[in-house]
Structure 1
Amino acid sequence: MNVILRILRYLKFAPRKGLMLSKHGNLNIDGYTYVDWAGSVTYRKSTSGYFTFMEGNLMTWRRKKHKVVALFSVEAEFRGMTKGICKLLWLHRLLTNLGYRPTFVMNLFCDNKAAIAIAQNPLQHDPTKQHPVQHIEVDRHFNKQKLEAKVIQFSFVKSEYQLADILTKEISSKAFHNSLDRLGISDIYGLT
C-alpha cells in the first residue's frame, strides 16, 4: 500500500511529465540493470530492475521481485543481468523484423564489478563453486555465450549513474529528479 501511495503522490505532483522520443541517428541499444539483493525486509527476496534504450530513448523498463531468495549477491546479480540481456535481445529482434539491422554491440551497464568479472571469465572468478545453484549455472552459460558472440558487452557504471536504482530502492529527491532527466522524462507541454 505504501508503494501505491508513493506512486499516486508522484502522479499528483507531476501531471505534465511525459516521455519525449527524439532521433539521434544511430541504432545503439543499451540497458541498465540493478539488483537490490535481499532488499525485502520481510522475505529477504531481491528486487531487480532494468531500463533499455534505443538511440538514447527510453524504450522499456521493469521492476520485479524475485520468486526465490538468493543466497549470494552474485546469484541475484546474474539473474538481473540475464533478464536485462533477454530484453535487449528482444529489442534487437524487433528492430531486425522491422527492417533495421543494429550493427553495434549492445551495452548492458551494471554497477557490480564482481558480477561483470565473473561473466567475462566464469572459470577464474566463480564464487559459487562451493555452493552450486542450477539456475545461476544456466545464467552464466547464457551470458558467456552472448559475450563470446559479441552480441553484448557488460560495462561498469558508477552507482551514482546507475539509472535502474530508481526502480529498486529509495533514493534522494535530488537523485530521483536527476534520474528523470537522464531517462528523458520532462514537461511535455513546455517543449516547443
Structure 2
Amino acid sequence: MIITGNDKQEIAQLQDYLATKFEMKNLGGLKYFLGIEVAQSQQGIFLSQRKYVLDLLTDTGMLDCKPVDTPTVQNHHLGEYPDQVSTNKEIYQRLVGRLIYLSHTRPNIAYAVSVVSEFMHSLREDHMNAVLRILRYLKSVPRKGLMFSKHGHLDIDGYTDADWTGSITDRKSTSYYFTFVGGNLVTLRSKKQKAVGRSTIHWTSWALATSMH
C-alpha cells in the first residue's frame, strides 16, 4: 500500500488507524512497488522498471541478445497472413502482456506494443519477430523511465496525431495522444479508429488549440 500526501500529521493518523485494523509495517520512503522502481531526489521523482526489464530478458533467454536502436521497423507492414508460419500463441500472449505493463514507464515502446497487441489471436512468425525486436531494443536501454520534475507551473499541454491508413489489414488509421501536466507526461494512448479516415486535420487542430491553453 502506498500512502502519500503533503500533510504528515494526517498521514500518521491514517497509518495509526489502519494499524488497528490490519497488521502493518512502515517500510519508509517509497523505493519499489509492483515492479516499478522509484528514485526521489531534489530534481524530482524518477520511475523505471530496470529490474523488470532484466528479469524479462532473462526469462526469455534474450539477456545476451544483440541490441537494436528502435523498438520497431519503420513501415513494418505487419498484418494477417494465413500462409505464414504460425507460432506459439501462449508464449506470444504472455510476452505481449508483460510488455503492456512495462509500457507504463516506457512510453517509447507504447506504439510498438500496440501494434503487436493487434495480433493476439491471429499471430504468425513475423509477429513474434516483432516482439523479439522490442526485447532487443530494451536490451539497449534497460534503465530508461519517466522523470517527474517541478517546473513551477501546472499548465496542461496536449498533443495528438494519426498515421495515414497505417493498418495494411483494414486500412484504418491509428490515432495517438499524450498530455503533460506541469511539464510532466501523465497520459499516453494510441487507438485504432473505427472508420477509415480521409483526413487528419481535426486531430492537428485539436493539438494546436490544446497546446495554446
If the TM-score is normalised by the length of the shorter chain, which range does it land in? 0.3 to 0.5
**Quick check: which has more Rg, 1 or 2?**
2
How high is the TM-score relative to the length of structure 2? Answer: 0.35
How high is the TM-score relative to the length of structure 1? Answer: 0.38
Identify the structure with bigger relative contact order (alpha carbons < 8 Å, sequence gap 6+).
1
